[in-house]
C-alpha cells in the first residue's frame, strides 16, 4: 500500500517545465511509495466550462481548439506522443457537439465536460513519468473506488468507498498510480465532481482511505504563511499548525486549504503537509491533528 499521497495542483502542472519539476519531486520520493493525485493543467477547468458555454450557443470549436492546443503544447514540451490524449480529445469534441445539438447544459453534463481536465492531465503526467523510467499508470479515480452520490457539482463518496479504494489500489502494488483529483462516478456510471478546487479533498480522501503516513499538497507557495507575502515581504512559513488553526486560516481567507478539504484527514489524524513545487526542499507547513505532537520533521526524507 502507498505510504504517502502527493497531490499536485493545476499551477504545478501548468506547462511542460512545471510537469518536469513535478516528476523530479516524485522521483525523489519514490522510497515513500507515493500515490499521486493531480488536478487539471492550470486554467483548463475554466477553459472547459467556457467551451461548454460556447457549445451551448452553437460554437463547438471556439473553446475546444484552445484546450487541444494547450495539451499539445505540453505534450510536445515533454516529448509525449499525441496519441496519449487522442481518445479523450475526440470524446470531448463529441460531447461539445452533443451540447450544441441538444442546446442544454445540465450540472450533470458540465461535470462530464470538466472531468476531461483531470482525465487528460493524469495521462500526460503518467506518460511522462513512464518515459523517465518509472512504472507509472494513469487510473481514473472512479476506477479506483471513488464512487459518489449523484449530487453533480458537489458530490461526496459513498460510505463503502474507502473499502473499494483499498481493494482497487491493491491491484497496483508494483505501479506508481497517478489518479484524477476532483472527479468521481455514481454507482450508475455517471461522472461527477466534488466541486471546484476539489482535488485537495480527493487527495485527503484517498489518503484517509489508504491510511498513508502523510498527505502532501504541492502548490506554488511555501506552505501556510504568517501573512500574504505579496503584501508583507517579511511573511514567514508557519512550520506546524493544528487542524483547527488551519481551518481558521482557511476561513479567514488564507487561501491554502478549504476546511472541508481536510475532513477526511482530520478523522484519521493524518498530517497534511503543504509544500511548494518551486522550492521543494522547503519543508512547508505540516497540519497535524489537534493535540498531536508536531509530526517528526523528517521532511522530504
Q: Which residues have a Cβ under 8 Å from the Cβ of 6 and sit 6 or more positions away?
A: 25, 26, 29, 34, 35, 36, 37, 216, 218
Q: Does 184 bind ligand ASP (CB under 6 A)?
A: no
Q: Which stretch binds ligand ASP (CB under 6 A): 122-130, 166-174, 190-198, 208-216?
A: 190-198
120 grid coordinates: 487528460
Task: Annotate each residue in 183-222 with x if it binds Mg ion (CB under 5 A) or - if it does not, as one string.
Answer: --------------x-------------------------
Out of Mg ion, ligand ASP, none, what residue 145 binds, judged by CB under 5 to 8 A for its kind, is none
Which residues inside 125-164 make contact with ligand ASP, applying CB under 6 A?
Answer: none
Which residues inside 3-32 make contact with Mg ion, applying CB under 5 A?
Answer: 9
Q: Does 122 bind ligand ASP (CB under 6 A)?
A: no
The correct pick among 19, 22, 26, 40 for binding ligand ASP (CB under 6 A) is 40
The correct pick among 12, 45, 148, 247 for binding ligand ASP (CB under 6 A) is 45
The correct pick among 130, 196, 268, 279 for binding ligand ASP (CB under 6 A) is 196
Q: Does 10 bind ligand ASP (CB under 6 A)?
A: yes
CB distance 6 to 25 below 8 Å: yes
Which residues inside 245-284 make contact with ligand ASP, applying CB under 6 A?
Answer: none
Q: Does 2 bind ligand ASP (CB under 6 A)?
A: no
Q: Does 260 bind Mg ion (CB under 5 A)?
A: no
163 grid coordinates: 473499502
CB distance 13 to 265 below 8 Å: no
The correct pick among 199, 237, 261, 277 for binding ligand ASP (CB under 6 A) is 199
Q: Which residues bind Mg ion (CB under 5 A)?
A: 9, 197
Where does this chain bind ligand ASP (CB under 6 A)?
A: 9-10, 39-40, 45, 117, 181-182, 196-199
Amino acid at each position: 500500500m502507498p505510504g504517502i499521497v502527493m497531490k499536485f495542483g493545476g499551477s504545478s502542472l501548468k506547462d511542460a517545465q512545471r510537469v518536469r519539476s513535478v516528476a523530479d519531486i516524485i522521483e525523489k520520493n519514490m522510497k515513500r511509495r507515493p500515490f499521486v493525485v493531480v488536478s487539471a493543467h492550470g486554467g483548463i477547468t475554466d477553459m472547459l466550462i467556457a467551451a461548454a458555454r460556447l457549445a451551448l450557443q452553437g460554437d463547438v470549436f471556439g473553446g475546444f481548439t484552445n484546450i487541444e492546443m494547450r495539451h499539445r503544447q505540453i505534450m510536445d514540451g515533454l516529448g509525449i506522443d499525441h496519441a496519449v490524449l487522442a481518445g479523450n480529445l475526440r470524446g470531448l469534441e463529441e460531447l461539445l457537439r452533443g451540447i450544441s445539438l441538444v442546446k442544454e447544459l445540465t450540472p450533470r453534463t458540465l461535470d462530464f465536460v470538466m472531468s476531461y481536465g483531470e482525465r487528460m492531465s493524469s495521462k500526460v503526467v503518467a506518460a511522462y513519468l513512464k518515459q523517465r523510467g518509472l512504472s507509472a499508470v494513469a487510473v481514473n479515480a472512479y476506477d479506483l473506488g471513488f464512487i459518489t452520490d449523484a449530487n453533480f457539482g458537489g458530490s461526496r463518496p459513498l460510505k463503502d468507498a474507502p473499502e473499494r479504494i483499498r481493494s482497487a489500489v491493491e491491484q497496483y502494488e508494483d505501479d506508481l498510480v497517478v489518479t484524477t483529483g476532483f472527479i468521481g462516478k455514481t454507482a450508475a456510471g455517471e461522472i461527477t465532481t466534488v466541486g471546484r478546487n476539489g482535488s485537495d479533498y480527493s487527495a485527503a480522501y484517498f489518503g484517509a482511505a489508504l491510511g498513508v503516513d502523510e498527505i502532501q499538497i504541492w502548490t506554488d507557495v511555501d506552505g501556510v504563511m504568517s501573512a500574504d507575502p505579496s503584501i508583507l515581504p517579511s511573511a514567514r512559513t508557519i512550520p506546524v499548525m493544528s487542524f483547527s488553526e488551519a481551518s481558521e486560516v482557511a476561513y479567514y481567507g488564507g487561501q491554502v486549504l478549504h476546511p472541508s478539504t481536510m475532513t477526511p484527514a482530520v478523522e484519521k489524524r493524518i498530517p497534511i503537509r503543504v509544500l511548494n513545487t518551486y522550492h521543494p526542499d522547503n519543508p512547508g507547513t505540516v497540519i497535524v491533528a489537534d493535540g498531536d505532537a508536531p509530526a517528526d520533521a523528517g521532511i522530504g526524507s
